Amino acid sequence: MVTFRITRSVRIFAATVTAILAVSSCEKYEGEYAAKKKIAAVHVEKSGWYTSYNDATGNLERIEYRDTKYKSEDWTWEKRNLLSITRMHQDGSTDGRETFTYSGGKLTVRENRTAGVKTTFTYEDDKIRAIECYIDGQMYSTSEITHTGDKISRIKTDVFSMGRAKDQAGNDMKLALAPYFNYTARKGNPPQDPIYTETLVVKWSADNIASVESYNGDRINCIWHYTYDSKENPLFNFWTKEELAATTLPTFGSRNNIVSSTMLMNGETRERYDFEYQYDGKYPIVKIRHDSNTPDSQYPREETVMTEYTYK
């Protein structure tokens, strides 16, 4: 199964931040992100529970948690371009700074020097064709992007080096598309052949992504389905904000705001995310995410995340 639970330390899926930005009507390129309303800071509040295995008793235990509201991100801008996002822990300490580099209006490099992660974007005309990720200077993953007309229809990612991150229960998290922060850097040169390959097939309904199918070779891993509101998505066309994964694609690719995200395996629901919004006109200013897996999962859990935004 190609998905995993989002934790405080993993900033990959389901958009740790959903920036409240108005998208310019003159977008030229995928990844060219022109904001009319610029966010300055993001505050997050979390609560929920997860299931953990107790080695002493041999039983599964339900662990509840609550993170009071704290500043999780600071954004800096230069005119229309986003220059950096600094991430913070709940105690106020810095959790790395992500910088964005542009060339001819196109975002070409995203880099987090604290994590030793550098991601490059290659374009053909106005479309992203390839993404390469390097960790500590070594090739970690490559993504090949295919379009049908003017829309992304297929993403094939080869991963050359990876490790396992732990969830809050201390269990190995499942593999994800280009899990940039879930790795243990290998020593020496990476192998010639990838150790894992995932292909995402993206299907559209008008300007919204209707579903994403995840494949490993010819074998289907899972299918994600999405529903939306009728308001403007503030992150529309920000393809280079985070990794192109099944849980993030509708956040950056769809014109409207995602309301539900459901993952099916063998026809059964295994993961679900539900979203609520508070709006300021046609754009959301607060986003509340509820997520859970099924009660019969090995490690059941539920989480609610409320994100608030401050503007320049």
- pLDDT category at 185 given cuts 50, 70, 90 is very low
The residue that leads in pLDDT, 212 or 169, is: 212
Residue 14 placed within a domain: no
Once rounded to an integer, what is the mean pLDDT over residues 302-306? 90
Residue 215 placed within a domain: yes
- pLDDT category at 246 given cuts 50, 70, 90 is confident
Residue 8 placed within a domain: no
Q: Is the pTM of this model over 0.85?
A: no
Residue 137 placed within a domain: yes
CA 73 to CA 235: how far, in whole Å? 16
CA 17 to CA 9: how far, in whole Å? 13
The residue that leads in pLDDT, 311 or 63, is: 63
Closest CA to 223 of 234, 208, 205, 211: 211
| Whole-number percent of the chain with pLDDT over 90 | 35
Q: What's the total number of domains in the chain?
A: 1
The residue with tokens 């330390």 is 9
Residue 9 placed within a domain: no
The token duo for 7 is 């934790």
Q: Which residues fall within 8 angstroms of residue 52, CB to CB, at 6 or more apart?
A: 60, 61, 63, 168, 169, 170, 299
Closest CA to 32 of 232, 238, 236, 235: 238
Closest CA to 234 of 206, 250, 249, 255: 255
Residue 63 has pLDDT above 70, yes or no: yes
Q: What does the DSSP assignment read for 140-199?
A: EEEEEEEEETTEEEEEEEEE------B-TTSPBPPP-SS-TTS--PPSSSPPSS-SEEEE
CA 84 to CA 74: how far, in whole Å? 8
Whole-number Cα distances in Å, 14 to 55, 104, 116, 171, 231: 31, 29, 22, 20, 19
- pLDDT category at 45 given cuts 50, 70, 90 is very high
pLDDT tens per residue across span 223-242: 999 999 999 887 787 777 77
pLDDT tens per residue across span 65-111: 999 999 999 999 888 888 999 999 999 898 889 999 988 888 899 99
Once rounded to an integer, what is the mean pLDDT over residues 27-41? 68
Does the CA dihedral 246-252-255-260 come out positive or negative? positive
Residue 32 placed within a domain: no
Residue 108 placed within a domain: yes
The token duo for 169 is 């229960």
Residue 28 has pLDDT above 60, yes or no: no
Q: Which residue segment(s) compose the domain that 73 sits in?
A: 39-311
- pLDDT category at 17 given cuts 50, 70, 90 is very low
Whole-number Cα distances in Å, 2 to 162, 174, 193, 222, 274: 14, 7, 20, 7, 19
Residue 11 placed within a domain: no
Residues paired with residue 76 on neighbouring β-strands, in sequence order: 84
The CATH number linked to 232 is 2.40.160.190
pLDDT value at position 168? 46
CA 304 to CA 288: how far, in whole Å? 7
Q: What does the DSSP assignment read for 125-149?
A: TTEEEEEEEEETTEEEEEEEEEEET
CA 241 to CA 29: how far, in whole Å? 14
